Structure 1
Amino acid sequence: MKELKVSSRIIKSVFFHPDDGRLYIRFKNGEERLFAGVPEEAALAMVESASPGQHYIEYIRTRFERVA
Structure 2
Amino acid sequence: MQNLSVNSRIVKEVYFSQEDGQLRIRFHSGDERRFTGVPEAEVIAMCESESPGNYYIARIRRRFQPLAA
TM-score bracket for this pair, using the shorter chain length = over 0.9
In structure 2, what is the Cα distance between the partners aligned to 1:14 and 1:23? Answer: 7
Structure 1: give runs of 5+ residues left out of the alignment. none
After TM superposition, where is structure 1 displaced by more than 2 Å over at least 4 residues in a row? none
* Equivalent position of 1:61 in the other structure: 61
Equivalenced residues, count? 68
Q: Which residues of 2 match residues 1-68 of structure 1 at below 5 A?
A: 1-68=1-68
Shift of 1:65: 0.5
CA RMSD of aligned residues (A): 0.5
Please, what TM-score do these two structures have when normalized by structure 2? Answer: 0.96
Structure 2: give runs of 5+ residues left out of the alignment. none
